[in-house]
Structure 1
């Protein structure tokens, strides 16, 4: 591939010196719903209202902690450099100063990543993303499994995956989010 600059949509440019860079550039400039790259496969993520409702319920409950921590919660891009992965989590908590002007952050720059399963991508969230988030150092990964009607919190990431697993807990069971959040998440309405 050429290492000459190429122009993309709206005059954005990049140097296509490797397939990962070219593919991630393309993902960032696709039109339509949220688009992510999972193990080299382009995955459009059209959120449903049920899906968004669960993410919003988590956001509402952690909002007081966000203010204290100087963080924001949203569904911004997470890059996994050196892999064919570019994720758009349902919710990620990141320091406000890192988010300013960032096109993407890294999983280890988050405080919490939340994925809410759908019929079409449940195994991706349960298996692939859990492994990759641990590999890339996301300190806390909350899996809200709507098909299994349970929540699981993964902590202490390492090369072999998360070392601490809290759950699965059936919906309706409070789930403790450890420090820096230090709160019990009400899962009744998930």
Structure 2
């Protein structure tokens, strides 16, 4: 009997858009699944993120070998689904052939920024928060907009990021079951 290869689902969104939260929720909802989180890996990538964004944010400038090797290894395991918190959808050449379905969580930028500040600056000073906001206004917002113009249109499913976590997970589950 031929072994079933786990389906690989990639979840993309801007920073603060809900990738990790939705990946964790889907892992629980789908059962017999594993979730892999982009930020858990030490990738070789662009030194200057703003410069990378200004130069077109080519995903292929990232060496994703550790994640790719882990996905390939997990494809031999008796899993149903591998869920990726992954910012590039199908746009990274070395990983695109491993992904079966991509989702973009379309979270309004103001909500994503508020979530990111709440998450990343819990114990920060007002000056640190204001400095981050100034950086976002002057340069960082470009990265958010770049995702909307590149990753979103290259995803199989776009889900409203203002919906509840369970609603988003239900919509994704309905589509991957089709």
Q: TM-score, normalised by structure 1?
A: 0.27
Q: TM-score, normalised by structure 2?
A: 0.29
**Which protein is richer in helix relative to its size?**
2
**Which protein is richer in strand relative to its size?**
1
